[in-house]
Amino acid sequence: MNSYFLKSALLPQGWCHDVRVTTELGVFKTIELDSKPQSSDQALNVLIPAMPNAHSHVFQRAMAGLSEYKSDLNADSFWSWRDLMYQLASFAWYADGAPAIWRTSPLPYILRRIAGSVGK
């Protein structure tokens, strides 16, 4: 477990001062407002939340699996690729609104979420 004393931290309620936090495996465990530093704390001036990364390549990975082949007809073109792309896009979401493509490859999302950088 790591502990930090922050002169300023951007929290959901706005900027706070004299904040002490503890983390375990990169996840915040405690947040104490109006705190005093402890001898084990690493002192930091400012802490802001991680910037979200709301983009991924899951669709492109699924698309590569559909389109990276050469047909026997030698009729491959931008338009045949485009048709495959729209066919995949039409199956990208479950009826309940859940992203089907995400369920095909959840590990990158899980790892990025742990790191605090995924917005999806």
Nearest to 107 by CA among 65, 58, 62: 58
Residue-by-residue DSSP string for 10-65: EETTEEEEEEEEEEETTEEEEEESS----TTPEEEEEE-PPPPB---SHHHHHHHH
In order of their start, the domains of the chain are: 2-47 (2.30.40.10), 58-115 (no CATH)
Confidence at residue 29, expressed as pLDDT on a 0 to 100 scale: 93
Are β-strands 2-11 and 42-47 bridged in parallel, bridged antiparallel, or unpaired? parallel
Question: Greater confidence, 86 or 3?
Answer: 3
Percent of the chain having pLDDT more than 70?
A: 63
Please report which confidence band the pLDDT of residue 40 belongs to, taking 50, 70 and 90 as the band edges. Answer: very high
107 neighbors 114 (Cβ within 8 angstroms): no
pLDDT at residue 118 greater than cutoff 50 = no
Residue 2 reports pLDDT greater than 60: yes
pLDDT of residue 120: 46
| Mean pLDDT across 82-86 | 83
As to burial, measured by CB atoms within 10 angstroms (0-12 exposed, 13-18 middle, 19+ buried), residue 77 is exposed
